Amino acid sequence: MTAVQKAPSPRTAADVYDELFVPALFHQWGAVVANEARIARGERVLDVACGTGVLALAALDRVGPGGAVSGIDANNEMLTVARRKSDQIDWHLGRAESLPFPEKYFDAVVSQFGIMFFVDPVQALREMMRVLRPGGRLAAAACDAVENSPGYAALAALLERLFGDRVANAFRAPFALGDPVRLRELAAKAGIESERVRQHMGTVRFASIETLISTERACVWTLGGMLDDAQFVRLLKEAKPALHPFTTDSGLVSFEMPALIITATQ
């Protein structure tokens, strides 16, 4: 009898995120945010909007066998990928605005590039502070303004020129909170005192312009579904001169992308 082979499962948006965005951009930030939260051995840590687990895994390394890490995300596809990486982390499906944890439960609450997408970031900050024990630390990272990331600024300008405001603004969405004043205003509305906002510099690296454009086109949180095949071909053609200043002789695309990290103590 011939065995019936199952067709491979289709790649989800979370798979694309983890395979392309994480190594190109997000992996480097796990240690940075963990440092800002001063995560230590034996502590109990919550990663809010944990995605595929980059920051939660960095926290797990810090707390060691005597500590505990939980991760929560509203996207089950992201959690499916995260669960493949570690069974030592307590993964939860849920929203940042309504955390399913008791008050004063965690030593540190962290979040990496999630606050820009929260439906109600003020309520999310309130919830993150609620579950912190007295003396517990909050650290949440947001993308800095797109203008401070030269490669993405060039791509945003190109999208606006080619396809108008609707497409360009969708691409700019992750950079919406890239303003220290805006972040401090959100913290004040959430009742957080003595917060600090610091800029940290990171680097975006893609293997090629085509990889960068293809990845952005596949991202459901920005350009996903907004460009048809003809528009993609046009964008790729125009992107080569627009992104040439950030491209090496070998084709690697590299440019700075800073983040703002807001920290506070309960």
Residues 109-135: pLDDT tens digits?
999 999 999 999 999 999 999 999 999
- What's the rounded Cα separation, in Å, for the pair 56 and 30? 8
Kindly tell me if the per-residue pLDDT of 138 is higher than 80.
Answer: yes
The dihedral built from the CA positions of residue 129, 132, 137 and 140, taken in this order, carries a sign that is negative
With residue 187 as reference, give the H or E element that holds it.
helix 180-189
For the entire predicted model, the pTM comes to: 0.92
Kindly tell me if the per-residue pLDDT of 6 is higher than 70.
Answer: no
Tokens describing residue 82? 């995260």
Mean pLDDT throughout 213-242? 89
- What's the rounded Cα separation, in Å, for the pair 25 and 222? 15
Domains and CATH numbers, the chain: 13-265 (3.40.50.150)
Q: Provide the edge-to-edge strand list for the sheet that holds 259-265.
A: 90-93, 68-73, 44-48, 106-112, 132-143, 259-265, 196-200
Hey, is 27 helix, strand or coil? coil
Q: Is 205 exposed, middle or buried (0-12, 13-18, 19+ CB in 10 A)?
A: middle
Mean pLDDT throughout 160-173? 95
Q: Is 250 exposed, middle or buried (0-12, 13-18, 19+ CB in 10 A)?
A: exposed
Instruction: Write out pLDDT tens, residues 50-83.
Output: 999 999 999 999 999 999 999 999 999 999 999 9
Would you state the pLDDT for residue 202? 97
Mean pLDDT for all residues in the chain: 94
- What's the rounded Cα separation, in Å, for the pair 34 and 110? 8
Tokens describing residue 33? 């945010």
* CA nearest to 53, candidates 69, 39, 37: 69
How far the first Cα of the chain sits from its last, in Å, is: 65
Kindly tell me if the per-residue pLDDT of 230 is higher than 90.
Answer: yes
Would you state the pLDDT for residue 1? 45
Strand pairing category for 132-143 and 259-265: antiparallel
User: Got the DSSP string for 129-140?
Assistant: HHTEEEEEEEEE
- What's the rounded Cα separation, in Å, for the pair 142 and 149? 13
User: Tokens 């440019």 appear where?
Assistant: 255
Would you state the pLDDT for residue 50? 98
Confidence of residue 9 (pLDDT cuts 50, 70, 90): low
